[in-house]
């Protein structure tokens, strides 16, 4: 917990400073006292004048704050300490029942905090990054809080570390915006000035006047990434197959919010197409794609050739066993082996700090999360919400294949998702009843050829009997020759 406390960067008023004053300043010495979280077995030092406002999560957390200071007390510095229990990921032996994990990992915990239903739903995310603290996985989340009128009110920075005991320990420090500072607290990383963190994009350090660079050679891309890191820049990465639409551009914007240099790859990967699939006719629109990305302020486009990515004598593949054979992996044998192989190669070439993927490809996200975890890749995977047309159709490059009638027919997928969301929101948790309701909606559109319609654990893609702990509702269907997918995450009830 000490390691967490040292990386929070809200600058508190003098009475709450924990670091010694400069020699030229005469600041009264600050007395400290210990506040303990007995249930988790640790204590933390806080300024003696601060008040303990009470416990949270039963006996698994507490809040302390600067003494009441009048009308603006709502934005006074405040520290929240908590221990969060991660449910076991597997059963505890033959005598113990296997439990479906409520929060299977630190990544999922943070993502749920930032969802529209999460604890930070009304906040604006300024930064989220992954790091190691004394060998343990940790994340830093910085958000801008808003008052009842929607105006920026305070900054909260949350540090979370995953313990070996299956608990996540967190410290959240909240302070008014005028007390917020961005001192360089991470080796090799340069922070933006406070004004830049709250201003419209592009960022101050994103060099918006510099022409976008298109790189086709692997060695050149690796050299560019090394130079960026040596210059103190963080790299956000968005892998794509081109034929870009607003959904892809939203991923680039998310990468821009997380990093100081954005790389987008454009590569139609032959390994993820089956022999009877649409590799040959998949849209290839590099010139217009690059124009869109340049308008978004993307610094680098990496567009390698097939020969560069897969030399004739290449024999190595990456296969994530189990999860790769579920949902789309069952319908498209070998598909996720191609996905994990190309993404692993791209991660190795680009060397990003974070990579952004869309929730629409939920099965792909599950495969890549497992790959990153199992191979100890130091990369933060960020999952952005599904981008949709105004009528609800999920954006996809393959939508271009649809005729006007097929596009109208495809709207039934979104209607089925909405029906399941409506029922789950009203308290229905039985997966089979939810699935039956969705099938009833899909029956209204006889042109839809259903591939799968399943309610599964979003991390394992295994079916669940109940959505009470949260679940992924996923559907795939064809309209004419075009296969489309869609999904919705159902929050815990």
CA distances (Å), origin 208, targets 146, 220, 299, 349, 463 = 29, 22, 8, 24, 46
Q: What are phi and psi of 29, to 5 degrees?
A: -65, 145
CA distances (Å), origin 64, targets 36, 164, 391 = 11, 26, 47
- Cα torsion through 306, 308, 312, 317, rounded to 10: -80
d(CA 128, CA 236): 12
68 catalytically annotated: no
* Pairing of β 124-133 and β 235-240: unpaired
Q: What number of helices (H) and strands (E) belong to the chain? A: 12, 18
d(CA 167, CA 103): 11
Q: What are phi and psi of 433, to 5 degrees?
A: -70, -40
Structure tokens, 78: 């405040």
Residues 255, 141, 56: CA angle, nearest 5 degrees: 150
Out of 248, 335, 348, 414, which one is annotated catalytic?
248
Preceding amide of 202 cis, omega within 30: yes
d(CA 183, CA 117): 32
The set of catalytic residues is 248
């Amino acid at each position: 917990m000490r390691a967490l406390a040292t990386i929070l960067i809200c600058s508190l008023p003098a009475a709450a400073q924990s670091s010694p004053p400069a020699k030229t300043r005469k600041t009264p010495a600050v007395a400290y006292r210990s506040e303990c979280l007995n249930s988790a077995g640790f204590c933390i030092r806080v300024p003696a004048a601060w008040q303990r406002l009470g416990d949270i999560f039963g006996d698994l957390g507490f809040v302390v704050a600067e003494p009441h200071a009048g009308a603006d007390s709502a934005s006074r510095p405040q520290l929240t300490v908590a221990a969060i229990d991660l449910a076991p990921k597997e059963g505890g032996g033959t005598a113990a029942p296997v439990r479906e994990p409520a929060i299977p990992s630190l990544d999922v915990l943070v993502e749920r905090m930032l969802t529209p239903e999460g604890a930070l739903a009304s906040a604006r995310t300024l930064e989220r990054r992954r790091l190691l603290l004394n060998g343990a996985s940790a994340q830093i989340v910085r958000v801008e809080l808003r008052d009842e009128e929607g105006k920026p009110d305070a900054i909260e920075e949350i540090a979370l570390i995953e313990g070996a005991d299956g608990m996540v320990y967190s410290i959240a420090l909240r302070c008014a915006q005028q007390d917020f500072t961005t001192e360089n607290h991470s080796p090799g990383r340069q922070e933006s000035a406070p004004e830049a963190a709250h201003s419209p994009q592009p960022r101050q350090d994103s060099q918006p006047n510099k022409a976008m660079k298109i790189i086709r050679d692997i060695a050149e891309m690796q050299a560019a990434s090394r130079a960026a890191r040596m210059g103190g820049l963080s790299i956000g990465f968005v892998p794509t197959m081109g034929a870009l639409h607003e959904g892809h551009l939203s991923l680039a914007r998310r990468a821009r919010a997380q990093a100081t240099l954005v790389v987008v790859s454009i590569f139609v990967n032959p390994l993820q197409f089956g022999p009877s699939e649409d590799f040959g006719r998949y849209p290839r629109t590099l010139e217009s794609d690059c124009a869109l990305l340049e308008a978004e302020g993307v610094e680098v486009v990496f567009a390698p050739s097939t020969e560069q990515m897969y030399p004739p004598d290449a024999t190595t593949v990456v296969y994530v066993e189990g999860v790769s054979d579920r949902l789309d992996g069952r319908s498209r044998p070998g598909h996720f082996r191609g996905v994990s192989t190309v993404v692993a190669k791209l991660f190795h070439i680009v060397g990003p700090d974070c990579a952004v993927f869309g929730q629409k490809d939920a099965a792909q996200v599950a495969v890549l999360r497992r790959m990153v975890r199992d191979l100890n890749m130091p990369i933060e995977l960020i999952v952005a919400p599904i981008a949709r047309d105004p009528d609800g159709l999920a954006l996809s490059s393959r939508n271009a294949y649809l005729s006007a009638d097929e596009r109208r027919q495809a709207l039934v997928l979104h209607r089925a998702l909405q029906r399941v969301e409506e029922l789950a929101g009203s308290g229905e948790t039985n997966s089979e009843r939810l699935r039956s309701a969705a099938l009833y909606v899909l029956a209204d559109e006889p042109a839809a050829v259903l591939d799968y319609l399943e309610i599964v654990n979003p991390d394992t893609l295994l079916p669940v009997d109940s959505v009470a702990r949260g679940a992924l509702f996923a559907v795939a269907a064809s309209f004419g020759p075009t296969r489309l997918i869609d999904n919705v995450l159902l929050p815990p009830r």
